[in-house]
Structure 1
Amino acid sequence: MTKPVIKPWLIRDRQFIWGDRTYLMGVLNVTPDSFSDGGKFNSCDAAIKQVEQMLPYIDILDIGGESTRPNAEAVSAAEECDRVLPIIKALRDAYPQLPISVDTMKASVAKEAIAVGADILNDVSAGRFDPEMLPLVGKLQVPIFLMHMQGEPRTMQLKPHYRHVVQDIKQFLNDAILVAKACGIPKHLIAIDPGIGFGKNLEHNLEIIKNLSVFQDIGAPLLLGVSRKTFIGKLCDRPEPSDRLLGTIAACGACIAGGADILRVHDPKEIAEACRVSDAIYR
């Protein structure tokens, strides 16, 4: 099947030409309880220092103020804003041309984040948890990542079940795009994410990665977030997320082979080298 041509994104001074190469989204969690790096970067100084190290390797910075790890508790919009807004402001001042994505399920947080300098919305609920999210994006006309998640963070890993995991997720994403378009979001501003680890067990995650080509005919940029995920820890017997770099590199290579356009990663320096090799082979 020939992959559809997808209109490029132009964000600040950067053009994202889908299919040209693999783009990297660097993760910056400004939370006390994220699964891998909670509490490390929730001050402006620490965040700026971390981004300074990532800057040569990333194309987008993704900032999140609410943990979506399994069993995570929800936080209020006010608390989430208190966490992310000062850091978005500081990073926008420090790096004026860096595309910034805000990882949130709340329209009020998204609105404030865009107002202080964020460019993109990354909603792991695909707009389902806040009925105001998609209409807001339609009004703002900014890019959005729509992700599949079965259940919610507190419950998603209890007993995930699918009839046919890949086809079920593809149908969900197609439906999510239709809803987004009905809210005024142009198709070319929508990217999709099958949601590795979000309501999936080990076998589900492997099945998705093995069959990424199924998502190509949706005609949207494809984001994969496999970095340091639990399935890698299980396969490699690495209980600590920070010890999963080598497994992450292998998973990222498989995602590129399957047609991923963007990888969301914690270790962009190392993953960037893996991308260059995989791009040379598969693109």
Structure 2
Amino acid sequence: MLRLGRHVFTDDTTLMMAIVNRTPDSFYDRGATWAEDRAFERVQLVVEQGAEIVDIGGIKAAPGAEVDATEEKARVVDFVGRVREAYPSLVISVDTWRAEVGDAVCRAGADVLNDAWSGADPELVDVAATHDVALICTHTGGAVPRTRPYRVEYDDVVAAAIADTTAYAERALAAGVARESVVIDPAHDFGKNTFHSLELTRRLGEMVDTGWPVLVSLSNKDFVGETLDKPVGERLLGTLAATAVCATAGARIYRVHEVVETRQVVDMAWSIAGRRLPARAIRGLQ
């Protein structure tokens, strides 16, 4: 069982987590959903497309203009409340590493804290426990929030990702987060070069074998762009290829820009792997 705040999912389900950026400078959409109404339209669209989760972020991951906790809360807290009121059954995740922001969005109705920076604020686990919400535990190799990797080295990047994410998961349990509400994420690109992210994709099954549910955030990432020599905006096919590999390995949650395409790839891969029945199977039977 996987429990994300007030929402429960069985172990044979996969979930689409649609990205909603409340930022003026996102690498992918270039501020297309910076305005609150445009962001809400994005929520409406992805819900119609079948996303079970929206992941709302108020700061882009890359270096850029300083955004303090007050500004981050201004971007996301009231918006979370608006989405919660409109969609009571939707899982709301917030992409933040700050405990102060996490506490505010949980009070507004968030179900998940997506800590993309791997416990940079050690009090975030306590916030998740206090509000009984889910926590995404990522691997960044110790990177400082909003910095790019530079000549990062690992003896074994997969072993490092497993060690760090499971240790973070255990810290969450010790703080009082429910076991069924902890998810691990190898965090492609974060604290990694392209070879590291390819290795994590190829060996994702090793993370799945830990028993913790695995989230992957592959959508339009630099490792896809560098592998295929494609700019942002032309990385969909590469993203879907990586998605198929991770789905075959058993990843449970997919953080995406393109919901419909990803859902079809994941469903097909899970059916090939024998984890999901076809939607219908009448060929040769009638």
Supply the AA of the counterpart residue of 1:26: A
Q: Deviations over 1:118-165 (max 9, x none)?
A: 1111111232x2132111212222111011112124434212111111
Inter-partner Cα distance in structure 2 for 1:225 and 1:10: 17
State which of 111, 118, 121 in structure 2 corresponds to 1:130: 121
Inter-partner Cα distance in structure 2 for 1:199 and 1:8: 27
1:277 is aligned to 268
Inter-partner Cα distance in structure 2 for 1:11 and 1:112: 15
Contact map agreement 2:4 2:181 (CA 8 A) in 1: no
Is 2:60 aligned against 1:57? no
State which of 82, 85, 97 in structure 1 corresponds to 2:74: 82
Supply the AA of the counterpart residue of 2:31: G
Q: Shift of residue 186 of structure 1?
A: 2.4
Inter-partner Cα distance in structure 1 for 2:28 and 2:54: 17
Secondary structure of the residue aligned to 2:59 is: coil
Aligned residue runs from structure 1 range 139-158, under 5 A: 139-150=130-141, 151-158=143-150
Inter-partner Cα distance in structure 1 for 2:272 and 2:183: 24
Contact map agreement 1:43 1:87 (CA 8 A) in 2: no
Contact map agreement 2:96 2:116 (CA 8 A) in 1: yes
Q: Shift of residue 86 of structure 1?
A: 2.4
TM-score, L = length of structure 2: 0.90
Supply the AA of the counterpart residue of 1:107: A
Supply the AA of the counterpart residue of 2:56: I
Supply the AA of the counterpart residue of 2:10: I
1:121 is aligned to 113
Supply the AA of the counterpart residue of 1:21: T
2:201 is aligned to 209
Is 2:163 aligned against 1:171? yes
Structure 1 runs not aligned, ≥5 long:
1-6
Aligned residue runs from structure 1 range 101-120, under 5 A: 101-120=93-112
Secondary structure of the residue aligned to 1:218 is: coil
Is 2:188 aligned against 1:199? no
Mark the CA change 1:249 to 1:163 in structure 2 (over 3 Å): closer, same or farther: same
TM-score, L = length of structure 1: 0.91
TM-align CA RMSD: 1.6
Structure 2 runs not aligned, ≥5 long:
276-286
Is 2:236 aligned against 1:245? yes
Inter-partner Cα distance in structure 2 for 1:26 and 1:254: 19
Tell which has more relative contact order, 1 or 2 (C-alpha 8 A, sep 6+).
1
State which of 58, 61, 68 in structure 2 corresponds to 1:68: 61
Inter-partner Cα distance in structure 2 for 1:168 and 1:74: 30
Identity across the alignment (%): 36
Contact map agreement 2:93 2:114 (CA 8 A) in 1: yes
Contact map agreement 2:220 2:235 (CA 8 A) in 1: yes
Runs of 4+ aligned structure 1 residues displaced above 2 Å come to: 71-74, 152-156
Is 2:55 aligned against 1:43? no
Contact map agreement 1:160 1:199 (CA 8 A) in 2: yes
Secondary structure of the residue aligned to 1:242 is: coil
1:232 is aligned to 224
Inter-partner Cα distance in structure 1 for 2:249 and 2:209: 13
Is 2:212 aligned against 1:220? yes
Q: Deviations over 1:234-281 (max 9, x none)?
A: 122211x22211111111111101111111000102211212211211
Mark the CA change 1:102 to 1:10 in structure 2 (over 3 Å): closer, same or farther: closer
Inter-partner Cα distance in structure 2 for 1:73 and 1:277: 41
Inter-partner Cα distance in structure 2 for 1:135 and 1:179: 10
Q: Shift of residue 72 of structure 1?
A: 4.2
